[in-house]
Structures are given as C-alpha cells and as structure tokens.
Amino acid sequence: MLKTLLSILIDHPRSAVGWRVLLCALLGVISWLALTPAPPPRADLGWDKLNHLAAFAALAVVAVLGRTGSSVRVGAALLAYGGLIEVLQSFMPPRVGEWPDLIADGVGIALGLLLVAAARRLGASAP
C-alpha cells in the first residue's frame, strides 16, 4: 500500500501537472515574501536561515516531482533563483542580500533533493 501511494504521489505521470502548478504557486509566494519590504510575521519560522532552508527544500521537492528536469538542473536553477533574490534584495531597503542566505538556500535544496531520493528508494523497496 505504501509503495502504491508513493508511486502515485511521486512517479505517476498525471501527478507531474499538479506538482508543476504547486511549483508555480510556491515560486510566486516565495518571491513575494522575499521581495516585499515587510513580510507578514506569520510567515516566519523564527530564524531567517530556517525560512530559507524550508522554502528551498519545498521548491526542490516540488520541482523534481513535477519533472522539471534532472536533480542537478533543478538544484542549479533554484540556486540561481536564490541568488537573484539576494541581488534584488540588495537594491530594496530595508532588505539586504546576504551570502549566508544563499548558503541556506543551497542547504535547503540539497535536503529537498535527498528527501525525494529517499522517498523514491522507500517506494521501490516497500512491499
């Protein structure tokens, strides 16, 4: 049963469309949160780097499940997106672009990719 559920959520061709729609929504929300002068406090996990990690882990999972490219391409594209956000923030006071934020984005991307790989292995090995 677990294998069937994981197969439907992860590798079923029809699920890719839903993941892509979710990816577009996440990109919109994350862009807005990153580029608004004062994001709502409810969108804060309590530590800025954790916000970055969680956002980019979610993006990585959804992008891979949406079959938008190989894991390497997804990771590179998302890291470039994170870099673009940091550059744009450097021109938007009171926001600032920071290297540690980009590093947190990269860690989140890596965790997201590892999570998908682990879920696929679990699905493949489930009875």
Q: What is the residue-wise DSSP string for 33-62?
A: HHHSSS--GGG--SSHHHHHHHHHHHHHHH
Residue 67 placed within a domain: yes
Domain membership of residue 21 (yes or no) is: yes
Q: How many CB atoms lie within 10 A of CB 125?
A: 9
Given a contact cutoff of 8 angstroms between Cβ atoms, the answer to whether 5 and 15 are in contact is no
Residue 73 included in any domain = yes
CA 127 – CA 117 distance, rounded (Å):
18
Structural domain count, the chain: 1
pLDDT band at 15 (very low <50, low <70, confident <90, very high): confident
Residue 31 lies inside a defined structural domain of this protein: yes
| pTM score, whole prediction | 0.88
The residue to which tokens 């997804």 are assigned = 74
**96, part of any domain:** yes
Per the domain annotation, does 94 fall within a domain?
yes
pLDDT in tens, 29-66: 999 999 999 888 888 889 999 999 999 999 999 999 99
Residue 6 lies in a domain: no
> Which pLDDT score, from 0 to 100, does residue 105 have?
98
Within a domain: residue 63? yes
Domain extent, residue 83, equals 16-115
Q: Quick check: 2 and 49 in contact, CB under 8 A?
A: no
Lowest mean pLDDT among 22-26, 66-70, 75-79, 93-97: 66-70
